[in-house]
Each structure stands twice: as C-alpha cells, then as structure tokens.
Structure 1
Amino acid sequence: MTVPLHATLATVTARIEQRSAKTRQAYLDVLAQAKKPGPYRGGMGCANAAHAYAAMPANDKLVLRQERQPNVGIITAYNDMLSAHQPYEHYPEKIRAAARAAGATAQVAGGVPAMCDGVTQGEDGMELSLFSRDVIALATAVGLSHNVFDAALFLGVCDKIVPGLFIGALQFGHLPAVFVPAGPMTSGLSNDDKAKVRQQYAQGLVSREVLLEAEQAAYHSAGTCTFYGTANSNQMLMEIMGLHLPGSSFVNPGTPLREALTVDAVKRAVALSQDKETGVGYQINAKVIVNGIVGLLATGGSTNHTLHIVAMARAAGILVNWDDFAELSACVPLLARVYPNGSADVNHFQAAGGMGYLMAQLLSAGLLHDDVHTIMGQGLHRYTVEPWLNPALNGQLDWRDVPTKSADEAVLRPVTQPFSADGGLRLLQGNLGRAVVKVSAVKPEHRQVRAPAIVLTDQKQLGVLFKEGKLERDFVAVVRNQGPQANGMPELHRLTPVLGVLQDKGFKVALVTDGRMSGASGKVPAAIHLSPESVNGGLIGKVQDGDMIALDCDTQTLQLEVSDAELAARTAPTPDLSGNQHGTGRDLFALFRANAALAEEGASPLFTNI
C-alpha cells in the first residue's frame, strides 16, 4: 500500500526544486556533455592507453584493450592513522579480484587525504579540518580525471572524508558511484563512562594516566569510533541516500559479512556501469537530499551536516538552507538514542534493527521519498532489509526483511512512539544572526539561558578561566573569530567538558559561536555556526563582557539585549588572526579562508558562484 507523503516533506522538497531550477539544469547540462555511449577509455590515444594500463597484469591489459568490459576506478582514503580507515589497507586487492570475477577490471584511481579530528581536536591542525573536505573533493576529481573509468568505488568513512568524496564524485556524475564502508569497531568503554572521566580530568580529580587509559578503552581497535558523531552520521547518510548496499553501514570490520558486502559492492558497480542512466549525478536529486536531512533528524545526527549537506547538495546544483532543516525538523520524530543523545553506541543501534528498521518506520509515515533511484534500483523500500549469510545459499550474501519490532526500544523506536516529536535540530534567529542548535541531548530545563556574556577568542581561554575559579556563575560563553573566513572553523570540542561540569553544578550556561561544536554536540545548549561570522561583519564581533544574551531553544530566538543605539556606537575590535595563519600547513590554506562561503552556504570555497 502506498503511503501518502507527509505534507511538510512535499512542501520543502517542492521549494528546494523551485529554488534550484536553474542551477540544477546547468549541472545536468554538464553531465549530458560528459556521457559517452561506450567505455570511457574507448578511442583514447595509444600512448595515453599504454600509460593508463602499464602496471596492470597481462590478463587485465587484454580485457582493457578489447574496450568492452568496464573498468572501475577506486578512490581511497586509506591511512592507518584513522582507526575507521585502517581496514581499507587491503580493499584494493579484494576489489580487483572481485572485479575480475565479474568480468571487469579495477584500478586505484587515486588517494585522498584523511585527517583524524580525534587527533587534532584542540590542536592547530584542527584549523585545516573543515577545508580538508574541499581538498578531498579536489583530489577525487584529479583521480577520476584520467577518464578511463566506467564506474567508481569510494572508500571513506570519517568526518570530512565522505562529504569530500561525495562532492568530488558529483563532478563525474555521469559515472555510477558506490560508497564502500568499513564498519565500526566493537564496543569498548561506554561513552557515558568516557565522558565522566573527561569531566573528572577537567576538574583535576583524576590524572592524565587515568584519562588516557579511559580513552584507549573507548577507542581500542580498527573501525569507526562507536559514538554517533559525524563519521557514523556519514554512514547513515550514504545508506539513506541509496549509495551504500542496504544494511552495510554498521557491520564490524574483519567479519565474514563485512567481506561479503565489500565483494557485492564491486558487483553492483560493475552492473551499474552497463547502464548510462545510472550516473550518481542523475541519482542525487532534491528528493534524495531531503531524505538525507530526514535521516539526520530522525537519528539525532551530527550538526556538522548542517554545513556538509548544504555543500554536498550544491555540488549537484541543489540549493538547501537552514530553513529547510528547521521546517523538516519540526515534523520528523527522533527515533534513535545513540550517544551523545543516549547511552547506546552504534553497535547497539545496529543490533536493535539498524538502518533498515529506521527507514521502514519513516516510510510507513510518509517521511521519506520512496520514489528515488538507488544503487539497488528504483525505490528506497529496497533498503528496508538487512544482510545476512544465508545457510541455504551455502553461506552466500542475501537480504531478508528487517523485523517489524525493534529489539531494544531504549535505542530505536517505532515512529508511533518516538523519543521526541521533532528531530531536535533548530534554527535560532535574532539580532545576533542565524545559528543552529541541537537539542536532542539537551534536557528541557536547560533549553533557555539568559545570562551575561563572557567573550573569548580561543577555546583554551575557557579552560584557563575554569581552573582559576572564575566561572562559578551563570554565563553565555561567546567564542568568536572561529568561522571559516577567520581560522577555518575548527571544532571547539575542548569546551564540552568544562561547560558540562558547570551545568552539572547547577549553573545556567550556554555557548554562542561562529565556529563548530562537532558531531559530539551534547547536553549544553550551543548556538553554533553563527552567521554572519565576526570577520564578516557579524554582530558577534561587537559583544562585550557582561552583555546580557538570551538563548531560547523553544522560541528559537537568539538575542543580544543591547540597544540599537548602543550597538551602533560600538566599534568591533579588529581580530588578531596572526596566530591562525601560519604553521601546521595553515599558510597553504589562505586562499580557502579568503574565499570561503558563509556557514549557511556550506562554508566551502568551491561553490561561492552558485
């Protein structure tokens, strides 16, 4: 039985389509010019072809010379600094073998950088993090520019990597694209216990050795970190947008099921390459982007995606903004509680029913577009299944319907009994500008804060004030000069333990910043991504210590309670950004900072002309 589409979903989608009509058509015109009727290497000059295949085995060369069978390009973000990406080390050889078994060939087209935000949190390198997304998009384009591939596989998991790969893939949107996950590490120290140790360390109650032991117990093996931050939100996003195999996002590395899913991803890419209408640029449309936003809201996903989804959509000529997020959030219920929105991790989410159950529930309420194209074919209902190794098929990969009941309603609930009626992502507006706040982990009693401002220009300053005992009161921390044009918009993760401790002591505390707060945004109300940013003339630049600020997540307002006359008389101090421009590679990113778009436009220097 066909379920009517929710009215809000229909309205928002239609608005996006109308807003994007010209830019979307311009994008499709580019794809039409890139399409060829035969293999993309066909007709290539002999010297060009010889260079492309020189290092390949003899049998592969024979296949390629015939110009009949597809050649699959691999873009890999492998490095063994990232636990999530370490399993990718041996994927290329597995993919080549699977491609040969399918009568095709495969080559690593290129590698892209992949930085670990967990390593760079609070360090200078974090100021390169957001723009690494755009570097990855550029590197992806370089890899695929050889134009000898008929489909592409993308190996990436973590924060900026998947959005960057996605943006790069859409520059070659005439090619089919399959994203291949590696899976989360098995569960270690619980996220709640890890957070408690961090707060204890911030208060000086435990030693660095105790903190390190706790962190290593939480992050202990190959695979994605198990909390529901940006990396795992990426995996959710690729599945609900139809670019992963069904149910493949949260299968642990090194298991027989994970291996079978990787092989099958190659088979799908080979099959898709035979159809010139299955390019990823045609697959990704406004309906698919809206499905991605719905998935983010229904799972309480990363606030980073209020930047990334905007930039990813623009790569396909689709224009979305924070009004779209806010309007959808008002009607999409929260169906999952995964840390930091609960105590469970992604392995518990998978065991409770995972993505298949989630999508089945959302489809049953008309809260997803079913009429979209996926790598599995037409219709998102193809994703309401889970993979398994079927004994009746000699242990081969198969799919079965997901259970109709959640295995753990403390983690994953039916749409009729949500954790909350909305998605918990709200747009705050007022004289300070527009900002995003995530309230799914913020208790109702903490959602309104009216308190004097403490103005900071570096997250480390808050820790100093805390240790000096100067924060034992109600306040709103205003951390400015943290936007993309100022210092690259680093995550301000070091603020979390201090603000959490003070909130637990009974103080009314909140954060207002033109920076990011990361995928681990938690229990303290945080108005983030404030736009316009301070160096772009934003009013946050004129805030002074002691100014009263009212942040109200329920009325969705953010107000600096200073008269217009007083604000007009104030001159914003010229920010000293000298410490954010040099060293740790930051000199090379001056061009990115100077040309970055506003946060609401995706904060990318690549799409400022759209």
Structure 2
Amino acid sequence: MHPTIAAVTARIEARSEQLRADYLRRMAEARRKGPHRGALSCGNLAHGFAACGQADKGGLRSLTKANIGIVTAYNDMLSAHQPYHDYPERIKEAVRAVGSVAQVAGGVPAMCDGVTQGQPGMELSLISRDVIAMATAVSLSHNMFDGGLMLGICDKIVPGLLIGALSFGHLPFIFVPAGPMPSGISNKEKARVRELYAEGKASKEQLLEAESASYHSAGTCTFYGTANSNQLVVEIMGLHLPGASFVNPGTELRDELTRVAAQQITRITDLGTDYRPIGQLINAKSLVNGIVGLLATGGSTNHTMHLVAIARAAGYVIDWNDFAELSQVTPSLTRIYPNGEADINHFQRAGGMAYLIATLLDAGLLHEDVDTVIGHGLRRYTEQPQLHDGKLVWRPGPQQSLDTDVLRSAEQPFSHHGGLALVQGNLGRAVLKTSALPAGVGAVTAPAVVFSSQHELDAAFQAGQLDRDCVVVVRFQGPKAIGMPELHKLTPPLGVLQQRGFKVALVTDGRMSGASGKVPAAIHVTPEALDGGLLAKVQDGDLIRVDGDAGVLELLVDAAELASRAQVTCDLTASHYGMGRELFGGFRLQLSGAEQGACALFPGEPL
C-alpha cells in the first residue's frame, strides 16, 4: 500500500474506534434476533405475504427461503430511473428461479436535479437524501427480509439508499444500476450553446434543441456528475457486481447483470454459508477506496458531504483533511466532462472500471483486501462482464487503456494529484474542484462582488456589471439557510467572464456538484453565512484570495475592521415557503455543516 493511503485509513480507524464498535454491536444484536420472520406473529406474517402467490406464500411460511426486499427509486421524471419500471417483476422471476422470494419493500422519492435546477424545488434536493434514507428504513422495517436490492442511481438517491441500508447493516444488499443513455451531442457543444445563450447570442429554441440532443433517452446523463460518480464509487466499494455501472439500458448484457445480481443476493444472506452483511462490507478500507476512486476520476464534489454521511452511518468519522491528504497522492486518470471532452460511454469503451481499478490496485492506491458482494478481494473487479452463448461471464479487463485521451494508467496520469483541494483561512473551510481547471487559473486575488442568490448574479451579468476581475460571493445558500441548492446558473456567466480574459473565482456556501467547471470555485464554505460564518461580513470591494494550489481562502481585510462589522442578515422567507419547502423547516434547523455531511440524521452526535 502507498504509505499515505495506509496512514489515512489507520487514522480513520483510530478516530472512529468507539463509534464503529457501537455500530457493530448494534448490528450483531439485530442479527441475533433473526431469522426475522420467525419473530413475527401469525397475524404479522399473514399480512406480510397476503398478496403473494401460493408458491411464494409457502416459501415464506417455511422460514427457510430467503425473502429479498426491493427498494426502488423508480419514476418517469429521472431518465436514469425510468428503466427500473419493470425491474421488480424481472427480479422476482430471477429470485424465484433459485428457490427464494422477492417483494417490493417500498419506494423512495427521487427528484431530478436537472429538472429543478435554478427552480425553488432545488432547495429540497440535498434534504431529499435524508428523506430517502428514512424512507428506505421504513421500507425495510417490516422485519420480513433477509437481504435487499437497491434500485437507484442519481444524485442524492444512492447516498440516501446506502445510509438507509446501513441502518440495517446486519443484512446484505446489492445495488442494481440501469446504465447510462447512449451518447448524444458532445458535452463541449452543449456547454458552448449554454454560454452563447448566457450572452444573448443563442435563442431559447436553440438552447432547448442542444439540451434535448444531449439528454435524449432513457438512462443516466452521460456527463461525469454526481449520478455517474455514485455508480463509480459504489462499484469500487464492492456493492455492485463487477463492471455493472456503465452498461447501457435495454441491452442483453444489462438484463443479465440484473438477473445475476438478483440471484447473488440470495446466496449471501444469513440463511446460507456465505453471509455478507453490508455493515461489514462498508469499513474504513472500502470508504478510503471510494474516496480514492472519486479523486482519481475528478468526481462530484457532492461526495465530500455524501461520503461523510455514509461513513457516519457505518460508524466512521471522516473529514475534508482526509480527502485533501488522499488527493495529494492520488493521480488524475480520466478526462470525462466537465474535466474533459469525453462522456461516460467513452470511459467505458476505454477500459472502464476494470482498467481503472486494476491500475489503482497495481499502484498500491486501493485496498485489495476488502469484502465485496461477490467475495473477498477487490481484484475480481478488474474483470469485465461479457455474454458467452447468452450466459454472463467475467473475463480479464484490458491490460492497457484503449483510449489514453480518456483514461490513463497510474504511472502516466494526466496529473499526479487528485481532482480536489481543501482551501481554508479566515473565511472558513471549503472544497475546490481542480480537475477541470485550465492551467494558470487556480489562484485568484480580486475584489469581491457579493450576492445572496444565483438569480441576483445572473441579473448583474446581464447588465454588464461583472466585466472585470472579481471574486463572486454567493452567500446564504448553505444547509441551514435554504437547504444548500446546487447553483449551476452560475456556471455559464462565470465561464463567459473567464473567456473574456477576466480573472474570476467563486466563493459560496452553496453547492456546484459534479458539474463544477473551469472557474475556480470554493464551494461548501463552512461555517455558512447564516451560522456565524465570516461570509456574512464580506462587503463589495473587499479583496479575497482563492488559491487552490496553496490551499488558501482568505478575506484580506484588517482584523480590527472585521471585528467592527456586524453580521449581515438576509430575509430568506421566500425560500422557506412554496413548492413544499414549508414542510422542511425542521430539517433545515437540524442540518449539520457541510464538512459534517450536511446531515439531519444524527443530531447531537459528533461527526
């Protein structure tokens, strides 16, 4: 192992020793209470299988056949999730074929950030992760299940499903993806049209045509945002079948991967001899593997919060220092939009997960000695799924990248450090995605231009008020303020300013996620403006230094002057009502800071 990888893992284990021990004790106690259906009264059990066919009823009465709970995030609003509409029936058939039973345990909400982007509903997006985790727990609370299959892909959905599953950590779970849509127009062309529209040089009809040519069918969006980062991280943590992440929907190979996953979960329950509960699979080593995979590919900055919350659900404490230290030794191995011109299908064709995991393992940057849903050892994930005479087999992945413009080895990377930096100073702590930055733009010192919403900034841009070197501050966007929405309306205008030759950076307590682009963006600033952060004292014209190379986020104003300033307040009433937001006031009050996962599920406990 690389010594830094080993040291960070050991530090996480030491820091979390008592918390993890308490978690494992609770999971062992839950296991001892099984088999769970045997603990149910006759009335309980009769209700549980009342709607089943006679064969399934017989299996559930016997208490010897596995009952697999399906938790689905299917809806028609998410192109990535639309293929799930017939998965439950397919899964039931596959599970029945090996003598077990499957039931839909429940559904969880799944909102599309692409639809809500820049709209009031986006302010519920991050909060929805915790709602999904709780809905997962409710789905599994019937005490009827020996294992579970999780049907989810996008943004907050996979982290929510995983947090919920970890609350049932004595059970095994496999995550079942549906795959990315085929490639449409290039992401570079889509971004070009967006910037032209921001400048008033393209019509709304031209913009809609470009967007529709990019997001054009069922399947996951093909750029490397949070959805595809979810798939990569979950696979590298051993919760998918090997190579399952990026096979297109509607193909025979995708159907076979789903069938085999459904049957594999029956083999790893506590009723058999190969018990693999998720609470044991997710440990410090698998968490570090997930972080390294994220950093090596320039994945979504949302995971600087999601992985913190996931770790806490498994009894571990991780922080941004861990991310930053790992980033220093993790090479950047991919160029996938917004970190390059390729999309996720190009990555798959270049060697995909099999080659990525192989080169990271060979460089000592991943823990190989981990348990996965198919057995012990991550080396099995260097194999690729294929069909042979209609049967699913795994064969060794490529020994070399098949497209070095998209995917490279750890020995010849695009960069010798990962795609993320921790910046800190008197303004607090923030993360800055470096993988998409052009050379020479990572450090900016310029006067502040202060806004309290992305809409205010857009209006100022349209009025020509930002044609200068500046550090744009967008505050009161944090978890407690308005639920920490993603702020992608900022990306096109800031990109245009940069193209015009201005030095520009962004500082915000909001999010930018996997689509963070070519402008230096210190995001997730904590403490947030509403919670005592110095952001609330920044004034127009104040010099701010944002330096991803040196790790600096500094308001260059005399300390005495800052002490004399009052904290600015902001009327957020308009963001607390309408579109259902009034129902989530209690959540906002409970949300922890960004570095603690922006999570409401563990109030009063140290993160």
Q: TM-score, normalised to structure 2's length? A: 0.99
C-alpha distance in structure 2 between counterparts of 1:202 and 1:568, whole Å: 39
C-alpha distance in structure 2 between counterparts of 1:43 and 1:557, whole Å: 57
Corresponding position of 1:240: 236
Corresponding position of 1:455: 450
Please state how far the C-alpha of 1:39 moved relative to its aligned partner. Answer: 3.2
Asked if structure 2 preserves the Cα contact closer than 8 Å seen for 1:152 and 1:175, the reply is: yes
* Letter paired with 2:548: C
State the identity as a percent.
Answer: 63
* Letter paired with 1:499: L
Instruction: Output aligned runs, 1:190-589, within 5 Å.
Output: 190-273=186-269, 274-275=272-273, 277-390=275-388, 394-589=389-584
Q: Does 1:26 align with 2:30?
A: no
Q: Does 1:171 align with 2:171?
A: no
Q: Cα gap change, 1:313/1:135 in structure 2, threshold over 3 Å: closer, same or farther? A: same
SS, match of residue 230 in structure 2: helix
Instruction: Output aligned runs, 1:147-166, within 5 Å.
Output: 147-166=143-162
* Letter paired with 1:210: Q
Asked if structure 1 preserves the Cα contact closer than 8 Å seen for 2:267 and 2:274, the reply is: no
Q: Does 1:107 align with 2:103?
A: yes
Task: Report Cα offsets for 1:119-176 as digits up to 9, x if no partner.
Answer: 0000000000001000000000000000110000000000000000000000000000
C-alpha distance in structure 1 between counterparts of 2:487 and 2:543, whole Å: 23
* Letter paired with 1:181: P
Asked if structure 1 preserves the Cα contact closer than 8 Å seen for 2:383 and 2:396, the reply is: yes
C-alpha distance in structure 1 between counterparts of 2:318 and 2:560, whole Å: 35
* Letter paired with 1:427: L
Corresponding position of 1:74: 70
SS, match of residue 494 in structure 1: helix
Please state how far the C-alpha of 1:557 moved relative to its aligned partner. Answer: 0.4
Asked if structure 2 preserves the Cα contact closer than 8 Å seen for 1:39 and 1:70, the reply is: no
Q: Cα gap change, 1:103/1:38 in structure 2, threshold over 3 Å: closer, same or farther? A: farther
* Letter paired with 1:225: C
SS, match of residue 217 in structure 2: coil
C-alpha distance in structure 2 between counterparts of 1:466 and 1:512, whole Å: 16
Please state how far the C-alpha of 1:197 moved relative to its aligned partner. Answer: 0.3
Please state how far the C-alpha of 1:218 moved relative to its aligned partner. Answer: 0.1
Please state how far the C-alpha of 1:102 moved relative to its aligned partner. Answer: 1.0
Task: Indicate the larger mover: 190-199 or 440-449.
Answer: 440-449
C-alpha distance in structure 1 between counterparts of 2:126 and 2:330, whole Å: 28
Structure 1: gaps of 5 or more residues: none
SS, match of residue 514 in structure 2: coil
* Letter paired with 2:295: L
Asked if structure 1 preserves the Cα contact closer than 8 Å seen for 2:297 and 2:419, the reply is: no
SS, match of residue 575 in structure 1: coil
Please state how far the C-alpha of 1:37 moved relative to its aligned partner. Answer: 7.4
Task: Report Cα offsets for 1:553-593 as digits up to 9, x if no partner.
Answer: 11110110100000000001222111111111111110110
SS, match of residue 36 in structure 2: coil
C-alpha distance in structure 1 between counterparts of 2:139 and 2:381, whole Å: 30
Task: Indicate the larger mover: 40-49 or 557-566.
Answer: 40-49
C-alpha distance in structure 2 between counterparts of 1:312 and 1:9, whole Å: 19
C-alpha distance in structure 1 between counterparts of 2:207 and 2:32, whole Å: 57
SS, match of residue 477 in structure 2: coil
C-alpha distance in structure 1 between counterparts of 2:538 and 2:464, whole Å: 23
C-alpha distance in structure 1 between counterparts of 2:341 and 2:32, whole Å: 51
SS, match of residue 289 in structure 1: helix
Task: Report Cα offsets for 1:427-483 as digits up to 9, x if no partner.
Answer: 001110100001111012111111100000010111111111111100000000000
C-alpha distance in structure 2 between counterparts of 1:574 and 1:489, whole Å: 17
C-alpha distance in structure 2 between counterparts of 1:241 and 1:165, whole Å: 15
C-alpha distance in structure 2 between counterparts of 1:575 and 1:373, whole Å: 49
Of residues 36, 41, 45, the one that matches 1:45 is: 41
Asked if structure 1 preserves the Cα contact closer than 8 Å seen for 2:299 and 2:419, the reply is: no
Q: Cα gap change, 1:37/1:398 in structure 2, threshold over 3 Å: closer, same or farther? A: farther
Please state how far the C-alpha of 1:44 moved relative to its aligned partner. Answer: 1.6
C-alpha distance in structure 1 between counterparts of 2:263 and 2:244, whole Å: 15
C-alpha distance in structure 1 between counterparts of 2:580 and 2:315, whole Å: 31
Asked if structure 1 preserves the Cα contact closer than 8 Å seen for 2:132 and 2:157, the reply is: yes
* Letter paired with 2:294: L
C-alpha distance in structure 2 between counterparts of 1:172 and 1:276, whole Å: 18
Q: Does 1:122 align with 2:118?
A: yes
SS, match of residue 592 in structure 1: helix
SS, match of residue 499 in structure 1: helix
**How many residues were matched structurally?**
603
Structure 2: gaps of 5 or more residues: none
SS, match of residue 195 in structure 1: helix
Asked if structure 2 preserves the Cα contact closer than 8 Å seen for 1:37 and 1:276, the reply is: no
Of residues 142, 146, 153, the one that matches 1:146 is: 142
Please state how far the C-alpha of 1:36 moved relative to its aligned partner. Answer: 3.7
Corresponding position of 2:90: 94
Asked if structure 2 preserves the Cα contact closer than 8 Å seen for 1:428 and 1:437, the reply is: yes
C-alpha distance in structure 2 between counterparts of 1:457 and 1:565, whole Å: 25
Task: Report Cα offsets for 1:228-277 as digits up to 9, x if no partner.
Answer: 00000000011000000000100000000000000000111000112474
C-alpha distance in structure 2 between counterparts of 1:211 and 1:577, whole Å: 31
C-alpha distance in structure 2 between counterparts of 1:397 and 1:445, whole Å: 48
C-alpha distance in structure 2 between counterparts of 1:516 and 1:451, whole Å: 22
Q: Does 1:56 align with 2:78?
A: no
C-alpha distance in structure 2 between counterparts of 1:95 and 1:277, whole Å: 20
* Letter paired with 1:156: G
C-alpha distance in structure 1 between counterparts of 2:464 and 2:30, whole Å: 62
Asked if structure 1 preserves the Cα contact closer than 8 Å seen for 2:222 and 2:345, the reply is: yes
C-alpha distance in structure 2 between counterparts of 1:283 and 1:257, whole Å: 26
Task: Report Cα offsets for 1:272-315 as digits up to 9, x if no partner.
Answer: 11247411001110001000000000111000000100001000
Asked if structure 1 preserves the Cα contact closer than 8 Å seen for 2:575 and 2:581, the reply is: yes
SS, match of residue 106 in structure 1: strand
Task: Indicate the larger mover: 575-584 or 91-100.
Answer: 575-584
* Letter paired with 1:58: Q
SS, match of residue 519 in structure 1: helix
